[in-house]
């Protein structure tokens, strides 16, 4: 078991990126991020995990690592704005640099998103802009598409419409069903999400005025994970 402090790599240069993770479900992406933090592959630490679903598996996963958790379901009849305000108030207590939506299945208020502009990222299980919203694996299969994947993007008020940063492609195979396809996409999510967080932690990736920049270059289109030149560490992957 490790505490958040143990997530810090031995020789960090500069401040370690302070993360809050919002998750509604299993939290396998949270697990991948925690692994990357603990191993020192990314200079980040998870300060708190918040869920809108009491008892979500993701919360137990965080607790097993000694990370504080909060259950913050919307109150009966509560507006999205009010729920967003309570979320922001909770985050303020942790001095957070980046908020990570890792399977957070609730639409956030425009005010919440605006307050965290450039400091809020999401992973979506499709090659955006294709298949925004739910049931992406089913929709890919029903459309007979041959390619699927996932996208890490900065979040704006438009659902799954914020500027994309990195995508990973997955080939749809003969005989795939939703579960098989989802499992292969999830594997790729566990690679690309920590990678993007690592870029932000290293100060390589920013998003100002809705424009993501990696190493100072504006990203007009998302990078493709299979076209990155790989080095041994997450942080040194560079576009080909
Ligand atoms: C992932 O497929 C993510 O893209 C989607 O919800 C799923 C969450 O999985 N938004 P997990 O909770 O990280 O296992």
Give the tens place of pLDDT for each residue, 175-234: 999 999 999 999 999 999 999 999 999 999 999 999 999 999 999 999 999 999 754 444
Backbone angles phi, psi at 87, to 5 degrees: -65, -45
Residue located nearest, by CA, to atom 9 of ligand 1: 103
Residue 149 tokens, joined: 């994947």
- Percentages of the chain per state (helix, strand, coil), in multiples of 5: 35, 25, 45
Other CB atoms within a 10 A radius of the CB of residue 11 amount to 7
| Parallel, antiparallel or unpaired: strands 228-229 and 205-208 | unpaired
Q: Residues 146, 172: contact at Cβ < 8 Å?
A: yes
Catalytic residue annotation: 124
Cα 105 to middle of ligand 1, angstroms: 9
Pocket test for ligand 1, best of 29, 49, 121 (most atoms within 8 A of CB): 29
Rounded to whole angstroms, the Cα distance separating 70 from 90 reads: 8
> Is residue 236's pLDDT more than 90?
no
The helix-helix angle for 178-201 and 28-38 (nearest 10°) equals 40
> Is residue 11's pLDDT more than 70?
no
* Residue 186 CA, closest ligand 1 atom number: 2
Determine whether the shortest distance from the Cβ of 22 to ligand 1 is under 6 A: no
Report the predicted TM-score, pTM, of the whole model to 2 decimal places.
Answer: 0.92
> Is residue 123's pLDDT more than 80?
yes
Determine whether the shortest distance from the Cβ of 49 to ligand 1 is under 6 A: no
Cα 160 to middle of ligand 1, angstroms: 14
Other CB atoms within a 10 A radius of the CB of residue 54 amount to 9
* Residue 189 CA, closest ligand 1 atom number: 4
Cα 164 to middle of ligand 1, angstroms: 17
């Amino acid at each position: 078991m490790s505490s958040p402090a143990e997530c810090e790599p031995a020789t960090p240069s500069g401040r370690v990126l302070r993360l809050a993770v919002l998750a509604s479900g299993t939290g396998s992406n949270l697990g991948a991020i925690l692994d990357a933090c603990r191993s020192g592959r990314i200079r980040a630490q998870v300060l708190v995990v918040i869920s809108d679903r009491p008892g979500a598996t993701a919360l137990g996963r965080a607790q097993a690592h000694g990370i504080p958790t909060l259950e913050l379901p919307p109150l009966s009849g509560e507006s999205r704005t009010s729920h967003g305000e309570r979320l922001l108030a909770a985050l303020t207590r942790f001095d957070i640099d980046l908020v990570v939506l890792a399977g957070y299945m609730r639409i956030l208020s425009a005010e919440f998103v605006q307050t965290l502009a450039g400091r809020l990222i999401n992973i979506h299980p499709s090659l955006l802009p294709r298949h925004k919203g739910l049931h992406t694996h089913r929709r890919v299969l029903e459309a007979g598409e041959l390619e699927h994947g996932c996208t890490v993007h900065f979040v704006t008020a438009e659902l799954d419409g914020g500027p994309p940063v990195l995508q990973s492609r997955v080939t749809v195979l003969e005989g795939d069903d939703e579960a098989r396809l989802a499992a292969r996409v999830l594997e790729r999510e566990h690679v690309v999400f920590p990678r993007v967080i690592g870029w932000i932690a290293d100060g390589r990736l920013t998003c100002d005025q809705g424009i993501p920049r990696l190493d100072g270059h504006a990203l007009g289109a998302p990078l493709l994970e299979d076209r990155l030149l790989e080095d041994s560490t997450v942080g040194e992957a560079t576009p080909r």
